Amino acid sequence: MHGTEAQKGVDERLYDVGELTRVEGEGSLRLRVRNGKVLEARFGIFETPRYFEQLVVGRTPDEVIDIVARICGICPVAYQMSAVHGFEDLFGVRIDPAVRALRRLLYCGEWIESHALHVYLLHAPDFLGYESAIAMAADHRPLVEQALRMKKAGNQLIRILGGRSIHPVSVRVGGFSRVPKRRELEDHRAAMAAGLELAQATVRLTAGLPMPAFTREPRVVSLRHAAEYPFNDGRIVSSDGIDLAPSEWRSAFEEHQVEGTNALHARTLDGKGAYLVGPAARVVLAAGQLHPLAKEALEESGQSDLIRTNIYASIVARSVELVHAFAEALDIIDAYRPPTDPLVPWTSRPGVAAWATEAPRGLLFHRYEVDEMGRIRAAQIVPPTSQNQAAIEKDLITAAAGVLDLPHAEATVRLEQMIRSYDPCISCATHFLDLRIDEA
């Protein structure tokens, strides 16, 4: 239902999309503005809960790794990483350094396929005026083919390390059940090198896209590491002073249920409310650790400030991270020697296993209580999309003013485009997210 009501000088607009498209999962959008004032801004997610935090109760750590991957088909590696590092931290497991490098390589593969998917297949059509990448291919076939080649390179990398590109099988507490031979990675190198060039071209492309006007500088949160761009290690930091060990998310953040929704909102304990996680947050907080080639691409794009203040520019941040992922992956491949201890033995200890890693979409925190038998007693999983809810809410309000002058249909598309800037991964939300703002 779209429409305007002109009635005795009342200008009421309703933008309502019952089922968002080109987002992962099932969500809806509803924005009601009267006389320029936002009365209702709702980002509803009607994804069915699957109760993963209960499904893992009673299981062993390796089973948990297999199970939590199924929270998301686009970012299963992220779930496996947050879980495995948490368990290894609690059990005092020291992995072979080559195994650590392989884990980063696996994460590179996931970032590549996820970012390539989002930039080209999910988000770019908005900027170029198409309903889908398939429709876009009719006029821009080489562009879509490039996207598919990049995505394939990332998927193939995960396949080599993990057996298949979705829900890989080789990640285990203590390492990998199988590590690749040098030859397998060498054979893939050419595709990765070609992908790097395509990623650099992607930064140039997205930096040149028509960017809708939008200004809001959100609080940002991500991992930050002294030597590496954050994947599976680093301290949790924010743009306003939070600085925690990766297991300590609960010291500064919490989830709570909001009246009238099924959401478990995430917020900071200091009461300052919304924050943003994801590529834009990482570029703001950790650009110093980007691979030199990615730094170069970012600088040449001239978009650092825009990324900080305009959520639509996250597409550029994502493209810069594509360059980083390809570049770091190539470095790891070139230096790779199979680990002497691909899988070290371990015994469980009772206690709390907690860790945060950077999924393609942002900070992903896991916390497991492990009992004396080595089984999970309780679990908490906080996906990035859950944490972005409050920020989305704020951005909807900010965006409202900017769309009122547009024809209704175009305005609706613009609002969807804004939501897509978050690359929401709604299946990840093991909880419902349904946000309502009271009358402003």
Partner 1 sequence: MTHAPVAARPRVGVVKFASCDGCQLTLLNLEDELLSIVEHFEIVDFPEASSSRSAGPYDVLFVEGSVSEPAHVERIVELRRRARFLVTIGACATAGGIQALRNWGDHDAFRASVYAHPEFIHSLAKSTPIAEHVPVDAELRGCPIDPGQLVELLTALTTGRRPQLRDESVCMECKRRGVVCVMVSKGIPCLGQVTQTGCGAICPRYGRGCYGCFGPREQANAAGLARHLQAAGDRPQEEVGRLFAGFTAYSEPFRSMVTDLGGTRTGRRETVDGGPLGDNDARH
438 Cβ contact partners less than 8 Å away, ≥ 6 residues apart = none
155 or 303, CB closer to partner 1?
A: 155
Residue 307: CB minimum distance to partner 1, A: 25
130 or 398, CB closer to partner 1?
A: 130
Other beta carbons within 10 Å of 58: 12
Alpha carbon distance 404, 33 (integer Å): 9
Angle at which helices 292-301 and 182-207 cross, to 10°: 10
DSSP characters over 56-114: TTT--HHHHHHHHHTT-SS-HHHHHHHHHHHHHHHHT----HHHHHHHHHHHHHHHHHH
* Cα torsion 191, 197, 203, 209: sign: negative
4 backbone dihedrals φ, ψ, rounded to 5°: -120, 155
Residue 426: CB minimum distance to partner 1, A: 9
Yes or no: say if 356 and 223 are a contact pair by the CB < 8 Å rule: yes
Structure tokens at 327: 């570049």
229 or 368, CB closer to partner 1?
A: 368
247 or 261, CB closer to partner 1?
A: 261
100 Cβ contact partners less than 8 Å away, ≥ 6 residues apart = none
36 or 260, CB closer to partner 1?
A: 260
Residue 201: CB minimum distance to partner 1, A: 17
Place of tokens 């990766």: 246
Which ranges of 140-181 does DSSP label H, i.e. alpha helix?
141-162
Residue 194: CB minimum distance to partner 1, A: 13
Residue 198: CB minimum distance to partner 1, A: 13
Residue 439: CB minimum distance to partner 1, A: 21
Residue 95: CB minimum distance to partner 1, A: 14
Residue 224: CB minimum distance to partner 1, A: 29
β-sheet with 362-370: strand ranges across: 351-359, 362-370, 376-382
152 or 225, CB closer to partner 1?
A: 152
374 or 402, CB closer to partner 1?
A: 374
120 or 229, CB closer to partner 1?
A: 120
Residue 269: CB minimum distance to partner 1, A: 18
343 or 392, CB closer to partner 1?
A: 343
Yes or no: say if 313 and 280 are a contact pair by the CB < 8 Å rule: yes
* Cα torsion 154, 156, 158, 164: sign: positive
Other beta carbons within 10 Å of 235: 17
